[in-house]
Amino acid sequence: MTKAVAKTGGKDLAKESDFSKFMDDNYDDGVDNEDLIMPRVKIVQAMTQDKMGAKEGSFIHTINGDLGTPIEFFILLTWKSRILFEKGALNIKCRSMDGKISGQGEFAGKLCDQCPKSKWDGNKKPECSIIYNYIIALKKELLDCIKTGSILPPTSLSMMSSATKVAKYINTNIRINKGRKKPIWADLISLSTEEKAFEVGKAFIPVAKIGATVSQDEVKEYLHKLRQTYMDMNLHEKLGEEEVINEEVDQAPNVPDPAPAEGDDLDI
């Protein structure tokens, strides 16, 4: 982790312009949360409806298209959510945005960890799926924004089912960095893919590598301010149901969650 992120030659974002004096106190952009869209990074699977011209096993950005593989990014926010579909359908039966309390469906208001739908039954996976969500800054887009002094729009990445162990590997690095007094965005993450065979078919799953540690002050300053901006926006509330449903559809049919193992419960 000693390799440094390359210099960008960008401007000092600590001296960015203050536009607050130009803002109208009654400013209204005329849109609601449902009118917003958060771009997502996802793996193209056989069942992906819109592959955006990318090959299976590649990553796509749902606005900008094919990213290829691998991708490199910094993590700015992370949280868990839960979703329960009706058997044999994509209708949402229950959903929790924070992974702790159900906020939608027939179990609304109940604690997730006390719900039998969230429990393992031997090697039988829970009916309710955990989704690990991340707000990320793709390295190339980040460096471009630093050069121009612009704000990088948020992009989300979600992992569930067969990607759970990869998510927990990333979460573990975040927890280790926290103990070392390093911010959540300290390390560059690289994701590639590999094809894996399951009983019900094949699917591409992510493979994570912890890469370079940020060393340039202008990158640190930018990532710090960007994280604060995203936190103020409550971005987890803007992940639409349709996006989560599409993420589930893109998984190979009935691809199982990995069975829990000892020491495998480190969640962020």
Predicted pLDDT at 43: 93
Residue 22 lies in a domain: no
Q: Is residue 254 part of a domain?
A: no
- Inside any domain, residue 91: no
d(CA 36, CA 47): 26
Q: What is the pLDDT of residue 8?
A: 46
Which residues in the chain land under pLDDT 70?
1-21, 23-25, 33-34, 88-90, 236-268
Domain count, the chain: 1
Q: Is residue 146 domain-resident?
A: yes
Q: What is the pLDDT of residue 19?
A: 65
Residue 29 lies in a domain: no
Q: What pLDDT is attached to residue 15?
A: 45
pLDDT of residue 6: 43
The three-state DSSP-derived secondary structure of 69-111 is CCEEEEEEEEEEEEEEECCCCCCEEEEECCCCECCEECCCCCE
Structural domain boundaries, residue 143: 44-76+137-249
Do the Cβ atoms of 46 and 54 come closer than 8 Å? no
pLDDT at site 95: 84
Q: Is residue 131 part of a domain?
A: no
pLDDT of residue 124: 83
- 55 lies in some domain: yes
Cα distance between residue 213 and residue 173, in whole Å:
12
**Is residue 238 included in any domain, yes or no?**
yes
